[in-house]
Structure 1
Amino acid sequence: MNEQPKLAVLIDAENVSNKYVKLIMDEVSNYGVATYKRVYGDYSNPSVSAWMKNMQEYALTPELQCNYTAGKSASDSALIIDAMDILYSGKVSGFCLVSSDSDFTKLAMRLKEAGMMVIGMGEEKTPKSFVNACENFKYLDLLYNKEEAEEKQRTATTRRNTNASSEKDAGDNDNLPKLSDIEKEVISIIRSNAEENGWINISELGINLSKRIPGFDPRNYQCSKLSTFLKKFKSIELNPIENPHNKLLKVVYAKIKE
Structure 2
Amino acid sequence: MKEENLCVLIDFENIAAGTEKAKLGRFNIRMVMNRLKEKGRILVTRAYGDWGRFAKFKQSLLEHGVSMMELTSYRGQDKNRADIALVVDAMELAYTREYITTFVLLSGDSDFTPLAMRLKELNKRVIGLGTKGSTSRLLSESCDEFIFYENLLRDSKSNESSQEESQPKTKKEAVEILVQTIEGVQKDKPGPVSVGFLKQSIMRKYPTFDEGEYGFSNFTAFLKAIQKTKKIVLLKDPRSQGFQIDMYQSEIDDIQLPEVPDMSIEARSLWDKLIVLKLNPTSHMIRHTVVHELVDHVVGVLVGHLWSGRLED
With the shorter chain as reference, the TM-score category is 0.7 to 0.9
The 4+ residue runs of structure 1 with deviation greater than 6 A are: none
Alpha-carbon separation, structure 2, partners of 1:20 and 1:182: 22
Alignment of 1:135-154 (within 5 A): 135-148=144-157, 150-151=158-159
Q: Which residue of 2 aligns with 1:186?
A: 178
Higher share of residues assigned strand: 1
Q: Contact 1:67–1:74 (CA<8 Å) still a contact in 2?
A: no
Q: Which residue of 2 aligns with 1:239?
A: 234
Alpha-carbon separation, structure 1, partners of 2:42 and 2:116: 17
Alignment of 1:18-57 (within 5 A): 19-45=27-53, 48-57=54-63
Structure 1 residue 16 and structure 2 residue 15: aligned? yes
Q: Contact 2:6–2:103 (CA<8 Å) still a contact in 1?
A: yes
Compare CA radii of gyration and give the structure with the larger one: 2
Q: Which residue of 2 aligns with 1:202?
A: 195
Structure 1 residue 201: Cα displacement: 3.1
Secondary structure class of the residue paired with 2:8: strand
One-letter identity of the residue aligned with 2:15: V
Q: Which residue of 2 aligns with 1:227?
A: 220
Q: Which residue of 1 aligns with 2:118?
A: 110
Q: Which residue of 2 aligns with 1:6?
A: 5
Match of 1:129 among 133, 138, 141: 138
Alpha-carbon separation, structure 2, partners of 1:196 and 1:82: 33
**Percent identity of the aligned residues?**
26
Structure 1 residue 240: Cα displacement: 4.8
Secondary structure class of the residue paired with 2:72: coil
Q: Which residue of 2 aligns with 1:161?
A: none
Q: Which residue of 2 aligns with 1:214?
A: 207
Compute the TM-score of the two structures, normalised by the length of structure 1. Answer: 0.76
Question: Structure 2 regions of 5+ residues with no counterpart?
Answer: 17-25, 251-313
Q: Are the structure 2 counterparts of residues 101 and 131 from structure 1 closer, same or farther at C-alpha, using a change threshold of 3 Å?
A: same
Q: Which residue of 2 aligns with 1:80?
A: 87
Q: Which residue of 2 aligns with 1:159?
A: none
Secondary structure class of the residue paired with 2:9: strand
Q: Are the structure 2 counterparts of residues 123 and 183 from structure 1 closer, same or farther at C-alpha, using a change threshold of 3 Å?
A: farther
Match of 2:243 among 218, 234, 251: 251
One-letter identity of the residue aligned with 1:16: I
How big is each residue's C-alpha offset from its partner over 1:45-81, in whole Å with a ceiling of 9 and x where there is no partner?
1xx3233112332211110112333571321111111
Structure 1 residue 38: Cα displacement: 0.5
Q: Are the structure 2 counterparts of residues 131 and 203 from structure 1 closer, same or farther at C-alpha, using a change threshold of 3 Å?
A: same
Compute the TM-score of the two structures, normalised by the length of structure 2. Answer: 0.64
Matched residue count: 231
Q: Are the structure 2 counterparts of residues 239 and 6 from structure 1 closer, same or farther at C-alpha, using a change threshold of 3 Å?
A: closer
One-letter identity of the residue aligned with 1:13: F
Q: Are the structure 2 counterparts of residues 80 and 181 from structure 1 closer, same or farther at C-alpha, using a change threshold of 3 Å?
A: farther
Alpha-carbon separation, structure 2, partners of 1:97 and 1:236: 34
